[in-house]
Amino acid sequence: MNPQGTQTITFDDKIVRYFLLAMIFWAAAALSAGLLAALQLAYWPLNMNLEWITFGRLRPLHTNAAIFAFAGNAIFAGIYHSSQRLLKARMFNDILSKLHFWGWQAIILAAAITLPLGYSQAKEYAELEWPLDIAITVVWVIFAVNFFGTIARRRERHLYVALWFYIATIVTVAVLHIVNSIEIPVSLTQSYPVWVGIQDALIQWWYGHNAVAFFLTTPFLGLMYYYVPKAANRPVYSYRLSIIHFWALVFIYIWAGPHHLLYTSMPDWAQTVGMVFSIMLWAPSWGGMINGLLTLRGAWHLLRTEPVIKFFVAAITFYGMATFEGPLLSIKSVSALGHYTDWIVGHVHGGALGWNGMLSFGMAYFLVPQLWKTDRLSKKWMEWHFWLALLGVILYYVSMVSAGITQGLMWQALNPEGKLVYPDFVETVMRIVPLYWVRAFAGLLYLSGFVLMVVNIVRAIRHQPVQDGTIQVAATVSRSPNEDAGHRRLEGLATIFTVLTLIAVAVASMISIFPILNLKQYVSYEKTVEPWSPLELAGRDIYVKEGCYVCHSQQIRQLPFDVLRFGAASTIEESMWDRPFQWGSKRTGPDLARVGKKYPHLWHYRHMIDPRAVTEKSIMPAYPWLVAKDTDFIGLRKKLSVLKSLGTPYPDDTVANADIVAQKEAAVIARELEAQGAPQGLEKKEIVALIAYLQALGQKATPNAGERP
Amino acid sequence: MSSQDNDQLTDHEYDGIREYDNPLPNWWLMTFFGTVIFAFIYWLHYEVGGGPSLKAELNQAMLALQAHKQQAVVKELSEADLETMLKDPQMAAAGALAFTGKCAACHGPELQGGIGPNLTDAFWLHGKGTREDIMHTIQKGVPDKGMPPWESMLSQNEILSLTALIVSKQDTNPAGAKPPQGEKVR
């Protein structure tokens, strides 16, 4: 019976349980895929000559699973649980909640099928093809309606800081995803982005960087602001700090994307903007760490007895480390050393395993006894999980930073003659392979801890009844903002708060992206760059499909040791027809921007079938299926016509006869291959198209006698 | 425990969570202002004040390397110079080591040819098989045919020793030799 004038609300905790279990399920997939990928780098035969799990396709599967499946479901579990309590309202609509849950799981499942099949846009963390891009947009809108609907029905006048971060997440991820995914379909399983060359690079890394910011940072800060004070039973350290660091973070983060492109052919101003905003991001990020850690003042004794607090403290500490390291790596001269190396891999795993992972695990342990009637979670097992996970992250981080700095220094080393000390790329790979074993072992430790969690939670909840939270609220609540002033007033005005957040990210985005939309002002007309020929394009799509960008860059930086190793620095013009751009972000193998004509066709033929045949110590997987599979010639007509409609200057008859032109090109290469000693009859095979593309890399620019158009 | 007892609690409460109204830590504020000031000055220097572009910095570094190289460069060696220099059998032995690592993948472990031409017969594609020609081809490569230029990858000594090796292997008739290509010179 309710006292007079009050009513009881039952929260929708079923959906929280669903998301929590989904998080655990997909974490298993993400971590296992990560471990296999790590082992493949240490021991190439584990690619097993299976195209579906070869590193180039497995790595996108791992990153997408970790970010969108593991972290994504963790975020949703936490948001659905905490928002209902912070807003004193049941979720707006149970059907929307279910659609959100099942829609998201369906997308993940589709990703887990399509990525191994090679349906990929080859843009990091945005690999999924256009039908899934649309599905993501729809599900995200469902989530947004459900979330803002709940805010509209709240029985709390003000929005707590956790909700500010949730709002920033929902609004910004929508903007990022939509803008980066503007693409024209070629078929059900392929599309070309509207953005081209440096545009595509800038927008992709504006997206990529802010996916980290608004999918792996802001929502988790929101979760921290709810679960840390809850678990420690302590007030949040500073309300004022919450306000300042929230707005600073939202405004500054969005500019920092170009720090992924330092020393590339990206115009200097964009690189400078990326670097200085990254440096300004240091303090706002640490604002979150301070507020998290200092909330535990007076509760530090819990660190001894409460594993949940251990997980949270470790998570926040890793957040602090990663957000200090990020600005550091964004300094141009540090990036010169660290970019393309495993240092970056170490950095992101410090964030993913340390911050996102530990916070999610802590949250799961906190939630289980609330969502099920159980007191059977074993603290001892939680302790074991914690120490295994901590040791795993530290070992992972140390091994990869050592590998990265070692390899970076080897790439830079010059002898007194001014020549590279380690001109053979594979030599710099061999040096760090032992560290790849250490990293794989670290991953195994982390995964083992996770397995303990699964067993612990399954044992705790099996045969136990579920329980849904309830709360008694006054039937009517005043939500008039008029009694407040300043920011406090804004916290009562959800719509205006959301619009201001949107403006903060949108203005920064527009200022940093707009100039690049007019590509012409950056293109020099001293050289003409031919678009890819039909066969080269077919080969390029194979390069994209196999995920070559995962290990090979196509961007020689404006750095002397890069130029000595790979040739003249890459130019804006050289990628001006590239959809998608393929600059890459990691050099597990050498840069390929100027690999064209460096080796004979037969070298590539033998190399693709068995890389060890030409480079004894290579760790690259073999691609024998390229010799067996036929090139899709007929699809080229559609591909060229889509590219032409986007502005690539193909003559009409080339478009109309794309397949015939390509077949003629293929016949020439197949004959040359045969003359060099390869078997007959390769002209229809994918290997020939890929060789055509590789041989064209860096070869498309010719001096221009004509006038600037 | 005393410090936080003095902290001012706000009247905010959300699902039992309270908030202190602590001031922003000074060191944090100073860090923030410091980075903002640095960012502004850096931007001003490079984007307004005419600081060097990345391209200019690269050109300067490459010129410095070039100057370095010119000091270290060995004079052009004539056929006669080479003949005396390459007499040392140690040279060919050192060349064999470099050959296995860099050249055997295309020219075969016994120089018999494979992807690239046979280096032991009397037929030559580029030049007439003199020491000068061989050295030149190693240095500059034949990019159109897929032979990379090695002068940036190998030291002068390594190139000399490779030349010595190739000369020492003439007419060895290794098993599985690739059929002749190019002009007969002997």
The pLDDT tens digits of the residues spanning A175-195 come to: 999 999 999 999 999 999 999
Please report, as a single letter, which amino acid is at residue A680: Q
d(CA A9, CA A474) in angstroms, rounded, equals 10
Return the DSSP state at A44: G
**What amino acid occupies position A512?**
S
Rounded mean pLDDT, A553-563: 97
Q: What phi-psi label fits residue A677: left (phi over 0), alpha (psi between -120 and 50 degrees) or beta?
A: left
Non-local CB neighbours of A173 within 8 Å, separated by 6+ positions: A140, A211, A214, A215
Instruction: Provide the percentage of residues in chain A whose pLDDT is more than 90.
Output: 91
Q: What is the mean pLDDT of residues A384-394?
A: 98
Averaged confidence pLDDT in chain A: 95
Tokens of A78: 């936490």
Best A246, A280, A332 member to test B by mutation, with max B CBs in 10 Å, is A280
| DSSP output for A52-63 | GGSHHHHHHHHH
B42·A272 Cβ contact <8 A: yes
Strand partners, B183: B124
When pLDDT is averaged across residues A614-633 and rounded to a whole number, the result is: 96
Chain B nearest-CA residue for A230:
B17
- When pLDDT is cut at 50, 70 and 90, the band that residue A527 belongs to is confident
The nearest CA of chain B is from the CA of A60 a distance in Å of: 32
End-to-end CA distance of chain A: 81
**Token digits of residue A439:** 């990293």
- Predicted confidence at residue B72, as pLDDT, reads 61
Q: What is the mean pLDDT of residues A435-454?
A: 98
CA distance A271 to B137: 40
Q: Please state, in angstroms and rounded to a whole number, the distance separating the CA atoms of residues A311 and A393.
A: 12
Q: What tokens were used for B170?
A: 């003439």
Residue B61 to residue A306: CA distance in whole angstroms: 56
Q: Do A240 and B152 touch (CB under 8 A)?
A: no
Give the phi and the psi of residue A347 in degrees, each rounded to 5. Answer: -55, -50
| A289 φ/ψ angles, rounded to the nearest 5 degrees | -65, -45
Assess whether pLDDT exceeds 80 at residue B144: no
The pLDDT of residue A617: 92
Closest Cα in chain A, distance from residue B23 (Å) = 7
What pLDDT score does A256 carry? 95
CA A138/CA A553 separation, integer angstroms? 33
Distance from the Cα of A149 to chain B's closest Cα (Å) equals: 19
Q: What is the pLDDT of residue A519?
A: 85
- Pick from A156, A268, A424: CB nearest B54: A268
Q: Collect all residues with Cβ–Cβ distance below 8 Å to A308 and sequence separation of at least 6.
A: A231, A362, A365, A366, A382
A675-687 b/e with 16+ CB inside 10 Å = b?
ebebeeebbebbb
Alpha helices in A520-559 (DSSP H): 534-545
Q: What three-state secondary structure class fits A187?
A: strand
Minimum Cα–Cα distance from A615: chain B residue: B105
Tokens of A331: 């300094």
Tell me the Ramachandran region of residue A197: left when phi exceeds 0, alpha when psi lies from -120 to 50, beta otherwise. left
Residue with structure tokens 């016994």? Answer: B110
Of A160, A600, A613, the CB nearest to B17: A160
The pLDDT of residue A1 is above 60: no
Count of alpha carbons within 13 Å of A575, Cβ hemisphere only? 28
Question: A399-403, A434-438, A506-510, A546-550: which has the minimum mean pLDDT?
Answer: A506-510
- Structural element, H or E, at residue A91: none
The region, left, alpha or beta by phi > 0 then psi within -120 to 50, assigned to residue A156 is beta
For the stretch A667-675, contacts whose Cβ atoms lie closer than 8 Å and that sit 24 or more positions apart, written own/partner, are A669/A535, A669/A601, A672/A601, A673/A601, A673/A602, A673/A605
Q: What is the pLDDT of residue B109?
A: 87
DSSP line for B100-113: HHHTHHHH-TTS--
Q: From CA A195, how far away is CA A668, in angstroms rounded?
A: 33
Amino acid at A141: V
| Total Cβ atoms within 10 A of residue A389 | 26
Closest to A358 (Cα-Cα) out of A398, A395, A309: A309
Average confidence (pLDDT) over B131-143: 88
Q: Which of A79, A238, A335, A607 to mutate to test the interface with B (most CBs of B within 10 A)?
A: A238
Lowest mean pLDDT among A362-371, A449-458, B31-40, B70-79: B70-79
CA distance A637 to A659: 6
Residues A52, A37: contact at Cβ < 8 Å? Answer: no
pLDDT of residue A523: 87
Q: How far apart are CA A650 and CA A636, in angstroms?
A: 12
Position B1 scores a pLDDT of: 40
Whether the predicted pLDDT of B75 surpasses 70: no
Q: Identify from B19, B31, B71 which residue to disrupt to test chain A contact, counting A C-beta atoms within 10 A and taking the largest count.
A: B19
Structure tokens at B126: 């580029």
Task: Quote the CATH superfamily of domain A528-703.
Answer: Cytochrome c-like domain (1.10.760.10)
- Give me the helix-helix angle, A282-294 and A307-330, nearest 10°: 170
Spatial separation of the C-alpha atoms in residues A88 and A150, rounded to whole Å = 9
Q: Read off the tokens for B56.
A: 């200019």
Within a 10 A sphere around the Cβ of A174, how many other Cβ atoms? 18
Amino acid at A246: F
Residue of A104, A73, A58 whose CA lies nearest to A550: A58
Say if domain A13-512 classifies as CATH 1.20.210.10: yes
Q: Is B77 exposed, middle or buried (0-12, 13-18, 19+ CB in 10 A)?
A: middle
Strand partners, A10: A470
- Fold type of domain B79-184: Cytochrome Bc1 Complex; Chain D, domain 2 (1.10.760)
Which residues in chain B have their CB less than 8 angstroms from residue A366's CB? Answer: none
A496 residue type, one letter: I
The model's pLDDT over A331-373, given as tens digits with 9 standing for 90+, comes to 999 999 999 999 999 999 999 999 999 999 999 999 999 999 9
Q: Which residues of chain B are in CATH 1.10.760.10 domains?
A: 79-184
3-state secondary structure string across A106-174: HHHHHHHHHCCCCCCCCCCCCCCCHHHHHHHHHHHHHHHHHHHHHHHCCCCCCCCHHHHHHHHHHHHHH
Quick: pLDDT tens for A472-523.
Answer: 988 777 777 778 889 999 999 999 999 999 999 999 999 989 888 888 889 8
Q: Whole-angstrom Cα distance, residue A501 to residue A629?
A: 50
Q: Per-residue pLDDT averaged across B152-173, rounded?
A: 87
Q: What is residue A672's predicted lDDT score, i.e. its pLDDT?
A: 95
Rg (CA), chain B: 33
B2 band by pLDDT with thresholds 50, 70 and 90: very low
Nearest to A614 among B57, B68, B105 (CB): B105
> How far does CA B4 lie from the centroid of its chain?
58
A163 pLDDT tier (thresholds 50, 70, 90)? very high
Cross-chain Cβ contact B32/A283 below 8 Å: yes
Segment A588-603 shows an average pLDDT of: 95
Q: Indicate left, alpha or beta for A94 from its phi (over 0: left) and psi (-120 to 50: alpha).
A: alpha
The residue extents of the domains of chain A are 13-512, 528-703
Least confident of A538-552, B42-56, B62-76: B62-76
Between the alpha carbon of residue B130 and those of residues A85, B73, B186, the distances in Å are: 86, 22, 11
- pLDDT value of position B60: 96
Of the candidates A238, A606, A613, the beta carbon closest to that of B20 is on A238
Percent of chain A residues past pLDDT 70, beyond the cut: 99
Quickly count: other Cβ atoms within 10 Å of residue A483's Cβ: 10
Please state whether the peptide bond connecting residue B109 to the residue before it is cis, i.e. omega within 30 degrees of 0: no
- The gap from C-alpha A676 to its chain's centroid, in whole angstroms, comes to 42
Per-residue pLDDT at A322 exceeds 50: yes
Q: Which residues pair with B19 in a beta bridge?
A: A236
Distance from CA of B128 to the nearest CA of A (A): 22
Contact A316/A224 with Cβ under 8 angstroms?
yes
Q: CA-to-CA distance for A264 and A84, rounded, in angstroms?
A: 46
Q: Measure CB to CB from residue A237 to each of B22, B43, B46 and give the nearest one.
A: B22
Question: For A457-463, which contacts have Cβ atoms below 8 Å and span 24 or more sequence positions?
Answer: A457/A24, A457/A364, A457/A368, A457/A377, A459/A376, A459/A378, A460/A368, A460/A369, A460/A372, A460/A374, A460/A376, A460/A377, A460/A378, A461/A368, A461/A372, A461/A374
List CB contacts of B156: < 8 A, sequence separation 6 or more.
A417, B74
